Structure 1
Amino acid sequence: MIVIYGIKEELNPIKAKLSDVIHGCMQSVLGFPEDKRAHRFIPMDRADFYYPGGRTDAYTVIEINMMAGRQIETQKNLIKSLFQEIERQLLISPVNVEIIIKEQAPHQWGFRGMTGDEVNDLKYKVNV
């Protein structure tokens, strides 16, 4: 599950394209299948979204929640790929993007009526 936060006037017009960019990176780096897209956009009022100095209203926060198991280099490759593709395709400078990966143990995930450690039919690998 990926949650994306930003100022609504900046985020709303690019939601579809940003979702495509994020999913493309998830596919190329993590091997996600086409139908494995779970993105939640949280467009915020400017008054409710404080961000660090040196950023613009394009500042966007991307939280990636995933089951633990990806190697450090794989996670770093994902982050770098996101910075690069967001800048290339959406013209948002990396200084205006913050990416956080939050890992949880498989037993802490619940989907399709079971926990992540019980699943044996995923169409992608977690330990990459």
Structure 2
Amino acid sequence: MVVIYGINQHLNPIKAALSDAIHYCMQSVLGMPEDKRAHRFVPLEKEDFYYPGGRSDAYTVIEINLMKGRKPDTQKQLIKTLFKEIESAIGIEPIDIEITIKEQEKYQWGFRGITGDEAVDLKYKVNV
């Protein structure tokens, strides 16, 4: 699951294109299937979104939640691909993008009435 935060005036108009860019990266780097897009947008009022100096109102935070198993080099490739693709497709400069990857153990995920460690029919690989 991916959670995206930003100032509502900047985030709302680009939601669809940003979702496409993020999912493209998830597919190309992690091998996620087309139908596994799980994005949650959290548009905030400017007064509710504090961010570091030197950033513009386009500042966007992307939190990527993954089941544990991706190699550090794969995660780094995902982050760098996101910076490039978002700048190219949306026009947000890397200085205005913050990305964090949060990994949880497979047993800490619950979907379709089971836990992630019980899933044997995933259409993608976790250990890449």
Name the TM tier (shorter chain): over 0.9
Partner of 1:88: 88
Q: How many residue pairs were aligned?
A: 128
CA distance in 2, matches of 1:122, 1:57: 38
Instruction: Report 1:46-125 matches (<5 A).
Output: 46-125=46-125
Runs of 4+ in 1 over 6 A off after TM superposition: none
Identity of aligned residues (%): 71
CA distance in 1, matches of 2:88, 2:125: 28
Q: CA deviation at 1:53?
A: 0.2
Q: CA deviation at 1:105?
A: 0.1
Partner of 2:43: 43
CA distance in 2, matches of 1:119, 1:92: 37
Counterpart AA for 1:125: K
Provide the aligned C-alpha RMSD in A. 0.3
CA distance in 1, matches of 2:20, 2:11: 14
CA distance in 2, matches of 1:90, 1:119: 35
CA distance in 2, matches of 1:95, 1:106: 32
Partner of 1:33: 33
Q: CA deviation at 1:78?
A: 0.2
Partner of 1:5: 5
CA distance in 2, matches of 1:59, 1:85: 16
Question: Secondary structure of 2:117's partner?
Answer: helix
Question: Secondary structure of 1:20's partner?
Answer: helix
Q: CA deviation at 1:44?
A: 0.1
Q: CA deviation at 1:80?
A: 0.2
TM value normalised by structure 1? 1.00
TM value normalised by structure 2? 1.00
